[in-house]
Amino acid sequence: MRSCDALIIGGGVTGTAIARELSQYRLKVILCEKEEELAFGVSKSNSGIIHPGTQNVPGSLKGRLCVEGNALTKAIARELDVDFKQVGELIVAFSQSEVGRLIRIKEDAQRLGVKGLRMVDNAWLRDHEPNLNPDIPAALFAPSAGIISPYRWVYALALNAQQNGVEIMTRTRVAAIERLSGAGRGGMFLRVMTTSAEYDARFVINCAGLHADAVARMAGIDDFSIRPRKGEEFILDKKREHLTNHLIFPLPTPVSKGVLMIKTSDGNPMIGPSALDTEDKDDLSTTEGGLRTVLADARRLVPSVSERDIIAYFAGLRPVAGDDFIIRHEDRASGMVTVAGIQSPGLTCAPAIAKLVSRLLKEHGLDLRRKIFFRRHRRAMNHLFSIPLSRTARLVRLDPSYGDIVCRCEMVSAREISDAIAEGATTMDGIKFRTRAQAGRCHGSFCTCRLMKILADETGRKVIEVTKRGECSEIVLKDRGDDQ
């Protein structure tokens, strides 16, 4: 039996941001994630936008955390050497009659504290967004919107938390939570039974995304449920990188921000996401209907977008628990903290959620004393796709394995693959999310075998044991007597 001050359930952006935040205090913190690697839940399938806070109800928790999260993400990304780019967003009106709604969005956002907002007209749009539908009369410009790689963000938060002493356990599913009486200063301890060990924890922080309702029920909390809302997204060829200069939004619908033209930190533009309520928490299928809707809506924004530009697609499920986030200490189950319903803009809000959670822990008796040595900064691994060729040449001189290109589409070297494995990648998706190898137009046709070989060699496994994303996603079908 091991004990800790805080046990975090869920290794998505919310859980890892909380882990990093708590790692600056003298606490024993453990994070449990059921999947083979971190960021394999909702945090792997989103638009990667760091929203400015323009499309939230003024009094909402989401809205407040979004504005704060935007500023914090920018600052922490710099500390952790993660590629955040402040590209700005345009919310467009398709007719003069929609301009009034834009003005109301601007006023609401200003009340929330969003800075730098201004209306721009058709002439401005023609100058700054030549591919935009020329009939769009006006747009609201929000300069603080940005883009980030959601996976590299999660991995950076987690690695920095680990550097500062947080213990991260993947392949560890929380199966039961028991309330214990008569312990610690801030209330009762909780006993957490997982698939790998049992822990006594002063606080348990439930950031289990789509399964936060199931985890809450383990502790006797049953007043909310999570309903998934599916979003399908379509990735365009990198050749279309400069299709737009900003993130482009239509006016929001009652359930989502609408179909967007998305710039990504890796260069490939994306179109999407759709928004469709579903019952199935595992339904990550993409559909012909989703493609048609997204394509038609995207063409209203940028008419030249073509189906031929699409190189890949995915779906993500927003964990919806009503209109707003649920972030609270559970007085009925002392020590239990719920962080649920973290739908969009959860990626943006994560660092602000982390600060809110640490305040909740303090209010409920946790002594937050700062560590004398907190390692605030981290250097990211080199990514050849994001540096000039002159720097690549210097790296190759220092280490020739930078010149051994494994993924030709995205120019990923053997050295980067090794660095990703050293940082914790154990699956093919883990390598892809960290390096972009297999994420190009050929989808790994050229590099998959080589990647599997490197992954097997460097993790001491057989090639047939390599998986795409953990158990039951083996790439090579095992034949009787096959041993290699």
User: What does the binding site for ligand FAD look like in residue numbers (CB under 6 A)?
Assistant: 9-15, 32-35, 40-43, 45-49, 51, 173-174, 207-211, 215, 231, 233, 273, 316-318, 342-348
d(CA 58, CA 64): 8
Contacts 24+ apart (CB under 8 A), 97-102: 98/251, 99/137, 99/138, 101/251, 102/138, 102/139, 102/140, 102/251
- Residue closer to ligand FAD by CB (options 8, 412) is 8
Closest C-alpha among 208, 201, 217 to residue 361: 201
Question: In terms of CB distance, is 170 or 418 closer to ligand FAD?
Answer: 170
- To the query of whether residue 51 is one of the catalytic residues in this protein, the response is yes
3-state secondary structure of 144: coil
Residue with Cβ nearer ligand FAD (13 or 409) = 13
CB of 382 to ligand FAD, least distance (A): 26
**Active-site pick, 51, 246, 329, 383:** 51
Nearest CB to ligand FAD, comparing residues 271 and 439: 271
Residue 462 CB, shortest distance to ligand FAD, in Å, is: 26
The CB-side HSE value for 15 (13 A sphere, CA atoms) comes to 33
* Euclidean distance between CA atoms 272 and 484, whole angstroms: 42
Q: Smallest distance, Å, CB 13 to ligand FAD?
A: 5
Enclosing H/E stretch for 412: strand 412-413
Cβ at position 228, least distance to ligand FAD in Å: 8
Cβ at position 88, least distance to ligand FAD in Å:
14
Please state, in angstroms and rounded to a whole number, the distance separating the CA atoms of residues 91 and 93.
7
Question: For the residues of 273-308, what is the DSSP string, one character each?
Answer: ---EE-S-TT-----HHHHHHHHHHHHHH-TT--GG
**Closer CB to ligand FAD, residue 187 or residue 316?**
316
Which of 30, 41, 298, 287 minimizes the C-alpha distance to 168?
Answer: 30
Print burial letters for 206-244: b (CB count within 10 Å at least 16), e (below 16).
bbbbbbbbebbebbebeeeebbbbbbbbbbbbbebeebb
DSSP string, 112-128: HT--S-EEEEHHHHHHH
* CB of 234 vs ligand FAD, minimal distance in Å: 11
CA distances from 478 to 136, 247, 482 (A): 56, 45, 6
Please, which residue, 186 or 231, has the CB nearer to ligand FAD? 231
Shorter beta-carbon distance to ligand FAD: residue 210 or 447 = 210
- Least Cβ distance, residue 369 to ligand FAD (angstroms): 27
CB 38 within 8 A of CB 155: yes
For the annotated catalytic residues, the residue numbers are: 51
